[in-house]
Amino acid sequence: MDYNEQIKNRVKRIEGQLRGILKMMEDNKDCKEVITQLSASRTGIDRTIGLIVSSNLIECVREADKNGENTEELVKEAVNLLVKSR
């Protein structure tokens, strides 16, 4: 799978959020602020997972379809990955 710049930038943004959260903890910030930022990071991770799985699914289905293969298993596997990530 090709991880394009959009996906890499998402991960870099999440990395920055996590560094910011660590700094907040070191500065003894209010727990509500920390939790809010952790929740935002988790949302970013979830969306990135969804993007990677869907992009990969599209590529795999196209390739399988070209080869005359059954794509149902690919879709099931992608759904399982999404469920497992949660």
Tens digit of pLDDT for each residue in 17-65? 999 999 999 999 999 999 999 999 999 999 998 888 888 878 878 888 8
* Cβ atoms < 10 Å from Cβ of 12: 11
pTM for the whole structure: 0.77
CATH of 5-85, one of 3.30.230.10, 1.25.60.10, 3.40.640.10, 1.20.58.1000: 1.20.58.1000
Rounded to the nearest angstrom, the gap between the alpha carbon of residue 22 and the centroid of all alpha carbons in its chain is 21
Residue spans of the domains in the chain: they are: 5-85
Spatial contact of 50 and 77, defined as CB atoms under 8 Å apart = no
Give residue-wise pLDDT tens across range 70-86: 888 878 888 887 787 76
Of 75, 26, 31, nearest to 53 (Cα)? 75
